[in-house]
């Protein structure tokens, strides 16, 4: 396929993707503001029956929901609803009552995981079984998943609650049969299925598929702490730092403009001020002063000016770095994997190697691939990234979520009739 046809195809796919993204965001906003904000008022005997009869102890739910609401109320008074320790406290309360619970980001060990393991065994042996998993959100939300299996099939009832006006309020109930499920070698229960209420169908004109990933097996807390400090602030969205091989001796294909994008908010405490033009046919091009660009990138990388300039577009006369913000045709879909540190190795030179798994719930994959990230802790408490290496394996998946920045030639072909905006 020649370049012109290729980019015409990319433009079409990007436009479709943008419409889907806007549709998803609009649906999400409308559904959660309207559908989820109003509890259904139909009498119990008029509600539709679930795929299988799932018993639900409303009395026990009321007790734990009251306790959860009180914890959220205390956190609200301290403005700490989305705080990790608040979520940890709530999950601990579930565990003390004998409930299985985990947070929505899989950052805290699941309580009572044995119940889930027994359920998975029952699915494999095609025995009848039932289990309940409570998922604690970081926004005052709480979801109750009731799973029931028979003949190797799984049916799911999901109830969603939201902390409002000092109490936990039930918002919506969704039901579906799991179309896929797996208990993975990495210790995850993953399943997906499609469901659509009448309101959802009107908004999306199709069913909505839920992709769930619950980490069942515990992780050492030091791994979680390193993950929160070194990996999660960067992640895998709109950058190739953890999906390509590079080192301080050879930076390879590492994109330092993406490095600038994710480093700027961390270093400067605000979002990148250099934005794409509102006119999609105009490409914004900025000239960032040398000191500003280098101070951001070099905070976490041991790299000299000459090497950095060779990996970017640098104007030696003006002493500026040319910077083009990502535009429509470099956008990515909203679903991304997340990193999970599962091991480490101390090196003789004082650095530390972290073993990381790429967990992608949307793809139902708890290990798309594994990579090793080398960190250099510094005396002042800061650190530097030394290298990244993707571990070779015949089971490695593709980084389908990643969209690289366009080259000048590609931009030229896409925006042949466009203009460049040079602030």
> Do residues 356 and 365 lie in contact, with contact meaning Cβ atoms separated by under 8 Å?
no
Q: Which of 292, 283, 282, 284 is CA-nearest to residue 318?
A: 292
pLDDT band at 370 (very low <50, low <70, confident <90, very high): very high
Q: Which two tokens stand for residue 418?
A: 């466009």
More confident residue, 305 or 406: 305
CA atoms within 13 A on the CB side of 242: 31
Q: Domain segments of the chain: what residues? A: 1-33, 36-218, 219-423
Per-residue pLDDT at 346: 98
CA distance 63 to 47: 24
Query: Which pLDDT tens digit goes with each residue over 205-260?
Result: 567 899 999 999 999 999 999 999 999 999 999 999 999 999 999 999 999 999 99
Per-residue pLDDT at 8: 45
Q: Let me know the angle formed at the C-alpha of 151 by 146 and 157, rounded to the nearest 5 degrees.
A: 15
Q: Which of 65, 34, 40 is CA-nearest to residue 163?
A: 65
Per-residue pLDDT at 423: 59
Query: Which pLDDT tens digit goes with each residue over 109-161?
Result: 999 999 999 999 999 999 999 999 999 999 999 999 999 999 999 999 999 99
User: CA 50 → CA 41, 123, 151, 195, 283, distances in Å?
Assistant: 17, 19, 17, 12, 52
Task: Say whether pLDDT at 403 is over 60.
Answer: yes
pTM above 0.85, yes or no: no
Specify the 3-state DSSP secondary structure of 319: coil
Q: Which of 97, 99, 185, 96 is CA-nearest to residue 134?
A: 99
Per-residue pLDDT at 61: 86
> Do residues 414 and 7 lie in contact, with contact meaning Cβ atoms separated by under 8 Å?
yes
């Amino acid at each position: 396929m020649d370049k012109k046809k290729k980019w015409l195809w990319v433009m079409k796919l990007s436009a479709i993707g943008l419409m889907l993204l806007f549709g998803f965001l609009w649906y999400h906003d409308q559904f959660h503001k309207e559908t989820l904000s109003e509890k259904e008022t139909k009498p119990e005997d008029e509600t539709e029956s679930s795929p299988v009869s799932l018993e639900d102890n409303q009395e026990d739910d009321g007790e734990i929901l009251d306790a959860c609401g009180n914890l959220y109320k205390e956190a609200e008074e301290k403005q700490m609803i989305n705080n990790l320790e608040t979520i940890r406290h709530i999950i601990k309360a579930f565990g003390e009552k004998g409930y299985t619970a985990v947070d929505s980001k899989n950052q805290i060990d699941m309580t009572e995981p044995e119940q889930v393991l027994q359920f998975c065994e029952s699915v494999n042996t095609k025995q009848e079984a039932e289990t309940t998993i409570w998922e604690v959100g970081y926004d005052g939300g709480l979801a109750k998943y009731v799973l029931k299996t028979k003949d190797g099939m799984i049916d799911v009832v999901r109830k969603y609650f939201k902390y409002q006006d000092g109490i936990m309020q039930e918002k919506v109930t969704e039901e579906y049969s799991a179309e896929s499920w797996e208990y993975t070698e990495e210790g995850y229960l993953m399943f997906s299925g499609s469901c659509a209420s009448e309101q959802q169908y009107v908004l999306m004109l199709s069913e909505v598929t839920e992709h769930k990933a619950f980490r069942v097996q515990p992780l050492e807390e030091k791994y979680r702490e390193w993950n929160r400090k070194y990996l999660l602030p960067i992640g895998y969205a709109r950058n190739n730092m953890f999906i390509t091989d590079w080192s301080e001796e050879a930076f390879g294909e590492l994109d330092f403009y993406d490095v600038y994008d994710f480093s700027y908010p961390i270093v400067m405490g605000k979002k990148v001020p250099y934005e794409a033009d509102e006119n999609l046919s105009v490409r914004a091009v900025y000239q960032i002063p040398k000191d500003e660009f280098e101070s951001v990138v070099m905070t976490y990388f041991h790299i000299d000016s000459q090497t950095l300039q060779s990996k970017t577009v640098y104007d030696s006369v003006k002493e500026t770095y040319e910077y083009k913000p990502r535009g429509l045709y470099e956008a990515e879909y909203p679903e991304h994997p997340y990193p999970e540190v599962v091991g480490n190795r101390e090196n003789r030179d004082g650095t530390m190697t972290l073993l990381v798994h790429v967990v992608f719930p949307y793809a139902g994959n708890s290990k798309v691939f594994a990579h090793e990230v080398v960190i250099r802790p510094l005396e002042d408490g800061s650190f530097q990234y030394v290298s990244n290496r993707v571990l070779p394996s015949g089971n490695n998946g593709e980084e389908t979520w990643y969209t690289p920045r366009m080259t000048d030639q590609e931009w030229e072909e896409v925006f042949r009739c466009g203009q460049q905006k040079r602030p």
